A and B are shown apart, each in its own frame.
Chain A
C-alpha cells in the first residue's frame, strides 16, 4: 500500500489545537465537514423519524415466519421428533428437522474457529435452548403455535457447565461425535518466554498473585439477531437480509455452506440495531431461514426473541485467570505471568482471527515496559452456549487489559505505593515507540504518562486521596475508593498475512465515485451498527477532496454493490476502511489534477491542491483555481484525451500494522458500608485515538462503552445452574444498566497520531469497554484495600460488596434497626 499517492503527513496535517481537539478557529475555517469537525450525523434523520429499516421491518409478499423449537435440556440425546401435530395446524407450512437439512447437506455449519456446529440438532443436544427443529408458518403467531406442538423425546444426560469440572476425568463428554475427542479439552496455547519469565520470578524481590474471573457476558444489542431469506428460483439467487456485522464474509460462508455459488448469494445488512460482536458469527437461525426459503421457494423471516439471543448466540469472556507479577521493591515490574482456563461452550465458536486461538490476549503486558512475560491457556468444552465473541473488544484484549490493570493495583497495594505512581514508573516511555513487547506486539505510538497526568488533574486526584484518608480515620459510613486503569488496546486487524477470518485476509475497502454534478458516493466494505460511518467516512472524503460533507453519500452493507470487506468489529473500521477511504480519495485527487490541468490549460505538474480552500490551482497563480465540482464535470464532459473518462477510485487496504489506542480512566466511588451499594462520585475518561475525525461521535462512543463497562463491573453475568439451565437468560435476569445506574462522564483526550495510518487515526469504539472494568474494580478494591482486600469479583452487586466489607470488618450495621412494617399488605392476595 505504501505506493499510494500522498503518503501520510498525519503528524502535522490534521492536528487542530494543542490537545488535538476541535479547534474552533481552524475547523470553522474549513467549514466543509472535514477532519475534526463535530458534524451532526447524516444517518440520524431516518432514525429519529421512525424511518430506519431494520431486518424485522422487512416485509415481502408471501413471506413466511420461522420459529425455532429449542431444547429445554442442556445435554440430551434426541430419541424422536414428531412434527405431525404441528404440521396439521392452520397456518403451519412445514416442520424442519436435521433429517430434512441432511438431504440438502445443510445440517451442519462451520464456526469461525473451524469447528462444526449442528444447524438443527442431529443426535445430541449440547446446550440448553439449542436448535432442535424449525416451524415455518404463515405468520409469527401460527409459527409459535406450531412450535409448541412439535413433540421431542429426549434421553436426558448429565451436563457439565463449569470448565474446571469439564476437564475432570469422569466429566460427561460434551463432544462424543468427534473422532479422537476423549475428553472436553479443546486446545492449549501459550505465548512469551516461559524460561526467562520463571527466572525473573525466581530472582524477584517481590511477587504477587491473584485469581480473577472475567465472567460470561452477552453483548445484548437492543435489536436481536434475525434474517429474511428469499430464494429466487427464477434467478437461482439467494438474497438474505440479515443482522450482520460482516456481510461479505457471511456471503462467502453462506456460499460454502449451501453450495450456492457466491455470485448467486446476496447478503444485505440493512440498519443494524447494535452489534458489539454479537452479529459477527453465523447462527443456525440464519441458515434455517435460508434453507426453508430454498425448499419452500418463499421468503422466510426468522427473528430471535431476547431469551434466544442471550441463551444461544455468541457470549463473550468467560476467562478464569490467575495473574502474577514480579517486581523490585521500588515497584519496577520485571515479569508477568498469566494462566487462563477458558470456557468455550459446546462448540469452539470464538469469533477471532483464525491464527489467534486466544485472540489478542497476549497484549497482557499492557502499557508497561516489562522484560519477561509468559501466558498459558487451556480451553474446554462445556454444556453451555458456544462462543466467545469479542464483545466490543478486539479479540480478548478486554480480558488481557483487565488482568494487567488489576495486577498493577494488587502490586501497588502490596508495596504500599500510589497506583498512579507505580504506573508512571513502568510505562513504556513515549520516546520508545515503535515498541516491541515481550510477547511480540509492535506498538505504533503512545504517550501514556500524558494521558494519565491529564486524567489525574481532571479527577482532582490528590483531593480525593485526602478525602479517602479522612473518611477512614473518621470511620465514616461511606468509604471512598479511587481506581485507575491506564490501558492500551490493539485494534484494526489485519495485516492480512497475520489476521484472517476463515482464511480471508482482514483487509478492507473503499470505492469512491465522484458524479458529473460534483457529488460523490463512497462504498465501503465495513458495516455500521451505530458507529456513524455514513458521517465519519464522508468527513474523510470531504477532507481529502475539499468537498462538502453533505455532498457525499456513504453506502454499506449490500454485497451486490459494495466492495469486498471483512466488516465492522475489533474497532477496525477507521483503521482499515477509513484508511481505504482516504487512499481512494487521494487517488481521485491525483486524477483530478490531470483534469484540472486540462481545464486550466496548465501542465499537470504545476497543479497544486490546497487543503485549506479545498481547491486546485496553478502553482504561483492562486487565482487560476478550480474546485472538485468543476473538475468532476470535466471528467465526464471534457476528459483529457490521454486519460480514462470518469472520476473514480477503489482501494483495498491491507494495514501494515494494527493501531494502539490508549487512555487513562479514573473512577472514584463511594461505598455504603451498611448496604454495600457503590455510587460513582466521579468518572474520568481520557482517551487517545490518534487524529480525531468527529469528536462528537468519538465522545458518544466513549460514553456508550463506559456504560457497558459499568454493566460488566456491576450488573451483568450469564449464569447457569448445575443442570445447565440458563438462569440469567433474559432482561429480567441479565441486567443491562439503565439511565439510573450510569453517571455522567468527564471525557478528555490527548492526540498521538498513528504513524502508519494515512490520516493518523486509530480505532476507538472499544477502548471504553476494555479500559473501564478494571478501573471500576480497582476503585471498589481501593476503598477496602487498607483492610487487606485485594480483589472483588465482577459483577460487584451490593451483596458481593457488602460481604467483602463484612469479611474484613468494614461493614457497618444500620444505625437504626430497620423494621419492615409488613402489616396487612404483606398477606398473600387472595385474588
Chain B
C-alpha cells in the first residue's frame, strides 16, 4: 500500500535487515518477517502484554510500536533467553517458570518472561509487591499469578546464589545493581518457597527423575555459576542494558 523502507533490527544478537511498510507493527515484523513466533499477540490494545519484548533492555509491547520505530534497536525475545550469559541450558527465569508451575497454556509466558527479565535486570532482589507491579501489564488467564510470582522469585534467588558463588566478583565489577551483598531493597527477604519441604517434595530433590538424578541440582548450578566465563558474560549482558539507559 505504502512505500516500504529498509530497517535493521538486532534480534537476540543477530542483525536482520528487512523491508517494512511504515505502518507494520514490530510484533508482526518479529513474528512474520523474522519467523520468531514465540512472541504472541493477545489483545491489539496494549493491555495483555503477550507481545512484550525487550528493546534496548526496556520492556515494550511490540504491538504498540511500529517496526520502523525500532530501526537500529537491540531486541530480546523469548527465543534469545537460552543464549543469555546467565542461562545454562535454559535461563533461570525459564527454569523458575517450570519449577514453580508458573504457566499453564503457555500463551502469556513469553511476555511474562520478558517482564520478569526486565524486572530482575533492574531489581535483582524484588519483593512480592515489586514483582506483582512489574507483571501487572501482562495478563494471564490460567495461573492466578501466584506461581508466576514464585517463578520470578525462584529466578532471583538462583541468580543471587550464583553471584554469591562468584565470591562477590560480580558485585565488585558493578555488574549488577549493588550485587547480592548490598541489595538496593535492603537485605534479602527469604523466598517463600525456600526451605519448604512441601514445595520441594517431588519437584526437585525428591522425584527428579528415574535414576534419582536431579535435573535442577542447586549445587551443580552453583558450580556452573562459578565459571569465569559466566562472569565475563554477565558483564556483557549489563553492557547491553547500559546502552539502553543512555539512549
Q: Which residues of A contact B (CB under 8 A)?
A: 22, 24, 27-28, 31-33, 37-41, 43-54, 56-57, 59, 90, 140-142, 145, 220-224, 271-274, 276, 305-307, 529-532, 548, 550-551, 695-697, 699-701, 703-708, 730-732, 736, 738-740, 742, 744-745
Contacts and interface: CB of A to CB of B under 8 A. Distances in A.
A306 B40 CA distance: 13
Given A45-B90, A222-B48, A306-B45, 14 more contacts: A50-B37, A90-B1, A142-B1, A145-B1, A220-B141, A223-B42, A271-B105, A274-B141, A306-B44, A530-B106, A738-B137, A738-B145, A739-B148, A745-B146
Interface string B207-229: 10110100000000000000000
Interface stretch (B95-103, B171-179, B236-244): B95-103
A135 B203 CA distance: 50
B108 interface: yes
A24 B104 contact: no
B43 A731 contact: yes
A706 B146 CA distance: 11
A48 B47 contact: no
Interface in B23-37: 23-24, 28, 31-32, 35-37
A54 B145 contact: no
B76 to A, nearest CB: 11
A28 B97 contact: no
Say what secondary structure dominates the interface of chain B.
loop
B184 interface: no
B50 A222 contact: yes
Contact of B212 (A31, A59, A141, A732): A31
A745 B37 CA distance: 33
Interface string B199-211: 0011100110110
Interface string B6-42: 0000000000000001011000100110011111111
A49 B40 contact: no
17 contacts: A27-B202, A38-B203, A41-B98, A49-B78, A49-B94, A56-B37, A222-B139, A274-B104, A274-B142, A305-B44, A306-B44, A703-B144, A703-B145, A707-B144, A736-B141, A739-B136, A745-B144
A53 B110 CA distance: 13
Sort A-B residue pairs by CB-CB distance and give the 4 closest, nearest first. Answer: A50-B38, A47-B106, A530-B105, A273-B107
Contact of A703 (B99, B133, B143): B143
B140 interface: yes
B118 interface: no
B113 interface: yes
A254 B137 CA distance: 38
B38 A51 contact: yes
A91 to B, nearest CB: 8
Contact of B201 (A22, A736, A740): A22
Contacts of A53: 37
Given A707-B145, A736-B141, A224 B42 contact: yes
Contacts of B144: 703-707, 742, 745
A59 B136 CA distance: 32
A273 B106 contact: yes
A223 B110 CA distance: 13
B163 interface: no
B195 to A, nearest CB: 15
- Scoring A47, A306, A739 by chain B CB atoms within 10 A of each residue's CB, the highest score goes to A739
Nearest to A532: B104
Given A271-B106, A273-B107, A48 B113 contact: yes
B188 interface: no
A535 to B, nearest CB: 10
B75 interface: no
B107 A740 contact: no
B38 A38 contact: no
Nearest to A711: B141
A140 B41 CA distance: 14
A209 to B, nearest CB: 34
A704 B142 contact: yes
Interface string B139-170: 11111111111000000000000000000000
A738 B37 CA distance: 24
A43 B106 contact: yes
Contacts of A31: 207, 210, 212
A457 to B, nearest CB: 17
A272 B98 contact: no
Contacts of A221: 105, 107, 141
Nearest to A48: B94
A830 B20 CA distance: 33
A732 B43 CA distance: 9
Contacts of A697: 101
B21 A141 contact: yes
A723 B212 CA distance: 65
Interface residues of B, number: 68
Contacts of A738: 135-139, 145
A90 B3 CA distance: 13
Contact of A49 (B31, B82, B142): B82
Contact of A40 (B78, B101, B145): B101
B52 interface: no
- Scoring B39, B78, B133, B202 by chain A CB atoms within 10 A of each residue's CB, the highest score goes to B202
Nearest to A768: B144
B210 A222 contact: no
B209 A550 contact: yes
B81 interface: yes
Contacts of B98: 40-41, 44-45, 48
A779 to B, nearest CB: 18
A656 B131 CA distance: 47
B1 A57 contact: no
Nearest to A28: B206
B106 A40 contact: no
B79 interface: yes
Contact of B145 (A38, A272, A739): A739
Given A708-B141, A731-B139, A50 B105 contact: no
B109 interface: yes
Nearest to A747: B146
A730 B207 contact: no
B190 interface: no
B77 interface: yes
Contacts of B189: none
Contact of B140 (A49, A57, A140, A222): A222
Contacts of B97: 44, 48
Contact of B143 (A37, A44, A51, A704): A704
Given A27-B207, A221-B105, A703-B143, A732 B45 contact: yes
Contacts of B78: 48-50
Nearest to B210: A548
B149 A739 contact: yes
- Scoring B97, B104, B110 by chain A CB atoms within 10 A of each residue's CB, the highest score goes to B104
Contacts of B105: 221-223, 271-274, 529-530
Contact of B90 (A48, A140, A273, A701): A48
A376 B169 CA distance: 73
B107 A223 contact: yes
Given A49-B78, A222-B140, A548-B210, A742 B24 contact: no
Contact of B202 (A24, A273, A531, A705): A24
A231 B31 CA distance: 25
Contacts of B47: 730-732
Nearest to A744: B146
B108 A140 contact: no
Contacts of B209: 550
Contacts of A272: 105
Contact of A550 (B43, B148, B210): B210
- Scoring B107, B137, B148 by chain A CB atoms within 10 A of each residue's CB, the highest score goes to B107
A50 B107 contact: no
A700 B101 contact: yes
Contacts of B108: 222
B207 to A, nearest CB: 5
Contacts of A531: 104
Contacts of B145: 703, 707, 738-739, 742
